[in-house]
Amino acid sequence: MSATHFFAASALLTVSLMSGANTLSLDSCRSLALEHNKQLHISRQNISKSRYESRVALAAYFPALDFNGGYAYNEKNLSLFDSDQMLPTKTFNAQTGSYEYNLVTNPATDQPVKSPDGKYIPQTVALIPKEAMTFDIHNVFFGSVTLTQPVFMGGKIIAMNRITRYAENIASQLHQAQAEDVIYAVDANYWQVVSLKAKLRLAHSYVNLLDTLYNNVNIMYDQGVASHSELLSVGVRLNEAQVDLTKVENAVTLSRMALAQLCGLPIDCAMSLADEDKPQSTVLPIATTYDLNTVYDSRHDLQALLLATKVSEQKSRIARASMLPNLAVIGAYNFSNPNMFNGYKTKFDGAFSVGATLSIPIWHWGGNYYKYRMAKADETISRITLADARDKVALQVSQATFKTREAMKTFHATTANLESATENLRIANASFKEGMISVDNVMAAQTAWLKACCENIDAAIDVRLCEVYLSKVTGQLNIK
């Protein structure tokens, strides 16, 4: 059944309950509980979260395209000179075959003239105005488009993708395990209601028996056949039975509330169960032998631990990747306004660039190596935890099968005991009518019959619960 059909069926079932069609089967209670349980809603979100994390990790294989841009306002312009610059000039001397400075000379000596500070005085200069080397940088715009393609990251991208896939499977396995816990809780409450309802009918029958006995003894007392003490003894027992009846009625009401809460229904919802009026006098045989390897493969919690071990393996690979080189190819387009690609211009212009980055860890005082050893220790812990969990599951299955066998034996024993107690009560009633036994003997037979009935009901319900628990611990519990 798909999730859409499942929720649609559950919604229709809830509406039918509100409209008065309030008889619930065990499967109906399970479906309602699986739909309304808040912890299961949380685990479903965890599955979605893990799925998104897996997609995030997958994206690391592909090139990353990024844009960065900005704007800056500067108070002052940028000037290369603090004032106008006058540069001396040179003239080619054909005799020497070189360029010589044009300097002011003494006409008498034809030697260059120096200023008072000892520097030569140029005859001609080239003027570079300060304004010509002043650049307007009041408003600066800049940006870049970068494309980064990982080539080799030490294997951590592959490891992260495996981890996220394992994490998604772990979330799914834990969701199934939580669903099994919910179903087991629903079954326990369901059969508790059935058990209490059977005991309620039994309590009514017991009260009726005592009431009939009280009326008969009262008639006998009026006729002088029975004593007042016998009448009072039956009356006390009748009052005790009525008190017990009230307690059972309260227990049925409270157990219905607990079941309604598990099913996500109002606790005051008037509902009845499909099995509460059926006799629980027969049970089907239950298989009590299982292959442990099949159990290990079927248990969702063990599968989650197995996946956690694989996650630990990948984490150790990520730790090892910190000791390996990282290589990536980068392509970028950088632009700015103003730009200086072809002189200083106050307009947008840019250029492409392609390169590669290589990072090689050389020496970190053993820090990366110790991280790797820590990850390997966690991996070992995960393996030991999985082995310990399997041992506990094997013990759990053994105990569950033993308890199931004992429950079946107890049920058959209580069934035989009930038959004997019923026959004993019939004989006691017949003997009392013939005056062959006393009132105390009849009440003793009634008490024995009541005890046998209660034990038989408890044994039948215990077999049901053992069956569900055994299915749970062996991973065979059916989740619709």
Whether residue 346 lies inside any domain: the answer is: no
Q: Which residues of 405-433 are buried (b: 16+ CB within 10 A; e: fewer)?
A: eebbebbeebbebbeebeebbeebbeebe
Say if residue 124 is in the same domain as residue 267. Answer: no
- Return the bridge partners of 64, or none: 148
Whether residue 463 lies inside any domain: the answer is: yes
Say if residue 112 is in the same domain as residue 214. Answer: no
Say if residue 165 is in the same domain as residue 221. Answer: yes
pLDDT per residue rounded down to tens, the chain (480 residues): 444 444 444 444 444 444 444 788 999 999 999 999 999 999 999 999 999 999 999 999 999 999 999 999 988 888 888 888 888 888 888 888 888 887 788 787 777 888 788 788 887 888 888 887 888 888 999 999 999 999 999 999 999 999 999 999 999 999 999 999 999 999 999 999 999 999 999 999 999 998 998 898 888 888 887 788 888 988 999 999 999 999 999 999 999 999 999 999 998 888 888 888 877 656 666 776 788 999 999 999 999 999 999 999 999 999 999 999 999 999 999 999 888 888 888 889 899 999 999 999 999 898 999 999 999 999 999 999 999 999 999 999 999 999 999 999 999 999 999 999 999 999 998 988 887 888 888 899 999 999 999 999 999 999 989 989 999 999 888 776
Find, among 412, 400, 29, the residue nearest to 189 by Cα.
Answer: 29
Whether residue 434 lies inside any domain: the answer is: yes
Whether residue 423 lies inside any domain: the answer is: yes
- Per the structure block, which two tokens stand in for 337? 């306004």
- Per the structure block, which two tokens stand in for 155? 């294997």
Torsion sign across C-alpha atoms 415, 421, 424, 426? negative
Say if residue 97 is in the same domain as residue 216. Answer: no
Number of domains in the chain: 2
- Cis peptide bond upstream of 150, omega within 30: no
> Residue 27 sits in which domain range?
3-36+155-324+363-473
Say if residue 120 is in the same domain as residue 218. Answer: no
Whether residue 303 lies inside any domain: the answer is: yes
Q: In angstroms, what CA-CA distances link 101 with 92, 108, 109, 345?
A: 9, 19, 17, 34
CA distance 295 to 475: 6
Say if residue 166 is in the same domain as residue 120. Answer: no
